[in-house]
Amino acid sequence: MRQLLVVGNWKMNGSRASINTLLGDLVSAPAIAGPEVAVCPAYVHLPQVLELCAVSAIGVGAQDCSHMQSGAYTGEVAAPMLAELGCRWVILGHSERRQYHSESDELVAAKVAVAVAAGLQPIVCVGETREQREAGEAEQVVSAQLEGALRGQVSLDSLVVAYEPVWAIGTGLTATPQQAQDMHECIRSCLEGIAGVDADATRVLYGGSVKADNAAQLFAQPDIDGALVGGAALKAADFLAIISAAAA
Contacting residues toward ligand PEP, per CB under 6 A? 9, 164, 169-170, 207-210, 228-232
CB of 71 vs ligand PEP, minimal distance in Å? 29
Which of 103, 128, 139, 164 is catalytic? The answer is: 164
Which of 94, 96, 128, 184 is catalytic? The answer is: 94
Neighbour-count burial for 173-192, b at 16+ CB within 10 Å, e otherwise? ebbebeebbbbbbbbbebbe
Q: Which is nearer to ligand PEP, 47 or 170 (CB)?
A: 170
CB of 213 vs ligand PEP, minimal distance in Å? 13
Q: Which is nearer to ligand PEP, 93 or 207 (CB)?
A: 207
CB of 74 vs ligand PEP, minimal distance in Å? 26
Q: Is 121 helix (H, G, I), strand (E, B) or coil?
A: strand
CA distance 197 to 24: 37
The helix or strand, by DSSP H or E, that contains position 126, with its residue range, turns out to be: strand 121-126
Cite the DSSP H helix spans in 94-137.
95-100, 105-117, 130-134
Q: How far is CA 80 from CA 102, 162, 222, in A?
A: 23, 23, 35
Nearest residue to ligand PEP, by Cβ distance, number only: 230
Residues paired with 195 in a beta bridge:
none
- 128 classed as catalytic: no
Q: Which is nearer to ligand PEP, 41 or 230 (CB)?
A: 230
- 94 classed as catalytic: yes
Half-sphere exposure at residue 10, Cβ-oriented, CA atoms within 13 angstroms = 24
CB of 95 vs ligand PEP, minimal distance in Å? 7
Q: Which is nearer to ligand PEP, 207 or 226 (CB)?
A: 207
Q: Which residues are tagged catalytic? A: 94, 164
